[in-house]
Amino acid sequence: MKRPNILLTGTPGVGKTTLGKELAQRTGLTYVNVGDLAQEGQLFEGFDEEYQCPILDEDRVVDELEDKMGDGGIIIDYHGCDFFPERWFHIVFVLRTDNTNLYNRLESRGYTAKKLQDNVQCEIFQTIYEEAMEAYKEEIVHQLPSNTPEDLERNLEQIVQWIEQWMKDNN
């Protein structure tokens, strides 16, 4: 494997997609948004009436990605992380956003009151961070602030440096 696999995770609205797409552009790694992948391949196992959204078929997503992940050089973007095989990732970044920013971002996406409340609570209780800490080795899980354009730029610079170092150390 010549290039690392990276997981970008965090509550919806923290900036995973913006970071992931820009990172792919700067590094040449392949960006995969799991929500888009599931939509394209209809990798769902039903519909959640309460949240008004399809339910991801996690096993089919893993099957769909397995070969790609073995080659390396993949950036995965998804708000869940505990169903991906641990062996896939060299590093996991959990993006964190303060509640006011998060609320405003989700509100601008047209989230229902319940979805807004649940996602902001998810961020307050560090749900995704804890999920990542349980699913992966502690030393590969890192939290990154994602509130401002300056945070985005700093995160991009840090991750690009990490990728460059990884490639030096592993090739």
CA distance 29 to 45: 30
CA distance 9 to 76: 8
**16 labeled binding residue:** yes
* CA geometry: angle 69, 70, 75, nearest 5 deg: 25
**109 labeled binding residue:** yes
Among 66, 97, 79, 73, which residue's Cα sits nearest to residue 36?
79
* Lookup result for tokens 């690009």: 160
Note whether 31 and 75 are within 8 A (CB): yes
**15 labeled binding residue:** yes
**148 labeled binding residue:** no
**114 labeled binding residue:** no
Annotated binding residues, written as ranges, equal 13, 15-18, 109
Annotated binding residues for ATP, written as ranges, equal 13, 15-18, 109
